[in-house]
Amino acid sequence: MEGRLGRGALTLWAVGVVLFLWLPLGIILVYAFNTSNIQSWPIPGVTLRWFRVAWNDPDARDALLLSLKAAFAATAIALALGTMAAVAISRFQFFGREIFSFLLILPLALPGVITGIALSSFFTFGGVNFSLWTIVVGHATFCVVIVYNNVLARLRRTSPSLIEASMDLGADGWQTFRFVTFPVLSTALISGALLAFALSFDEVIVTLFTAGAQNTLPIWILGKIRLGQQLPEVNAVVFVVVVLTIIPVVISQRLTQESGILRRE
């Protein structure tokens, strides 16, 4: 459809965007090997020292652990509540459905600072101590929405006739769910869970408001940037995180490509 010139231009554009996205990331990754504390460019030398420093830093390990715990908890909650909400919204016409689906977009659509200050004051008024669980609640608000969106999109692409066919063949509600609905949803659930996990793991804007004395990994990174003394250590941690997340991202992409039962025609 596009002429050869158009195609060439678009390819160039695509390459440009990819470079734009990756150059800063690449620079941070290169800085992970910086011998000097001064972050000027180009870096004076390379060393693996910072990876060792990061590994031996108990604060970094604690922060990583807390981030993982919070992300797992938030994702679990999100899977449960998000799926329920998506199934209900897509299947039933009920009183206030439109409003409810509008409200469910809010945690993602509203700026994080609003969620943060709302939850923070809510917890303070309620006398709730800031802890891992306040962090999880903060993350769960948008994780639920992400899973909800993913599952809803998948359900919309699935024909309801499948459910009816299953019932016609004699399966009850539970069996239908187990043998028909769930397999259809499974890849959407996994990719939604991965995305929710990622956002929770990296979240800082809301977390600063809902964490107490606890450090998640982003809060730890912010603190390290504040100290300004061992910045390459932060870069080393980021390097590891990026490398480790290649796998789930690729898996997630593979899963969403094998889309639902009915493809677009």
Partner 1 sequence: MAVRAEQAGRSTRAARRRLSAAFWRRPWLRGLTQLGPPAGIFLAVYIAAIAVLFVSAFWTLDPLSGEIVHDWGFQNFKTLWEEHVYWRIAGRTIGIAAAVTVTDIILAFPFAYFMARLASPRLRTVLFVLVLLPLWSSYLARIYAWRLILSSDGALNWGLGGLGLPHQHIAYTNWAMWIVFSYIWLPFMILPVYAALERIPDSVIEASRDLGARNRTTFRRVILPLALPGVVAGSIFTFSLTLGDYITPILVGNTQFIGNVVYRNVLGLSYDLPFAAAYAMVPLAVMGIYLILARRAGAFEAL
Partner 2 sequence: MTKQYRRALGWSAMALVVGALAFVAAGCGGGGGSNASETTTEGPSLPTSIGKGEGKLSLVAWEGYTQPEWVKPFEKATGCKVTSKYAGSSDEMVTLMRQGGSQYDMVSASGDASVRLIKGGDVQAMNPKLIPDFPNFIDALKSPSHNTIDGVHYGISLQWGPNTLLYNTQKVKPAPTSWSTLYNSKYKGQITIPDNPIQIADAALYLSKTKPDLGITDPYELNQKQFDAAVNLLKQQRPLLKKHWSLASDEIDLFKNGDATLGASWPYQTNTLAADKVPVKDLIPKEGATGWADTWMLSSKSKHPNCAYLWTKWVSTPKVQAQQAIYFGETPANTKACAIMDQLSAGSCKQYHADAPASYFDSIKFWKTPLADCGNGKTDCMDYNQWQQAWTEIKG
Residues 115-144 that bind partner 2 (CB under 8 A): 122, 124-127, 129-130
Pair 21, 12: CB distance under 8 Å:
no
Coil, strand or helix: which one is 147? helix
Which residue, chain included where needed, has tokens 């359900």? 155
Scan residues 35-54 and list those touching partner 1 (CB under 8 A): 39-42
Stretch that binds partner 1, among 23-31, 45-53, 55-63, 178-186 (CB under 8 A): 23-31
40 makes contact with partner 2 (CB under 8 A): yes
By CB under 8 A, which span of 31-39, 47-55, 179-187, 245-253 interacts with partner 2?
A: 31-39
* DSSP one-letter code for 50: H
* 20: its two tokens: 């734009």
Is position 4 an interface residue for partner 1 (rule: CB under 8 A)? no
Cα–Cα distance between 93 and 265 in angstroms, integer?
27
Residue 141 or 158 having the CB closest to partner 2: 141
Query: Among 20, 92, 95, 174, which residue interacts with partner 2 (rule: CB under 8 A)?
Result: 95
- Contact of residue 65 among partner 2, partner 1, none (CB under 5-8 Å per partner type): none
Report the alpha-carbon distance of residue 42 to residue 22 in Å, rounded. 17
Nearest to 241 by CA among 115, 35, 60: 60
**3-class secondary structure, 18:** helix
What DSSP letter does each residue of 35-77 carry, written as one string? SSSS--SS-S-B-SHHHHHHHH-HHHHHHHHHHHHHHHHHHHH
Select the binding partner of residue 56 from partner 2, partner 1, none (C-beta < 5 to 8 A, by kind): none
The token duo for 98 is 């439109």
**Pair 140, 74: CB distance under 8 Å:** yes
- What does the DSSP assignment read for 170-210? T--HHHHIIIIIHHHHHHHHHHHHHHHHHHHHH--TTHHHH
CB of 111 to partner 2, least distance (A): 19
Interface of this chain with partner 1, residues 210 to 249, rule: CB under 8 A: 217-218, 221-222, 225, 231, 234-235, 238, 241-242, 245-246, 249
102: amino acid identity, one letter: F
In this chain, which of 5, 24, 168, 229 binds partner 2, going by CB under 8 A?
Answer: 229
Cis peptide before 232 (omega within 30 of 0): no
Which of 87, 132, 162, 255 forms a contact with partner 1 (CB under 8 A)? 87
Which partner from the list partner 2, partner 1, none does 223 bind, CB cut-off 5 to 8 Å by kind?
partner 2
Name the binder of 184 from partner 2, partner 1, none, CB < 5-8 A by kind: none
Give the one residue of 37, 161, 175, 253 binding partner 2; rule: CB under 8 A: 37
Query: Binders of partner 2 among 146-185, rule CB under 8 A?
Result: none
Neighbours of 186 (CB within 10 A): 12
Site of interaction with partner 2 (CB under 8 A): 36-40, 95-96, 98-99, 103, 122, 124-127, 129-130, 212-213, 223, 225-229
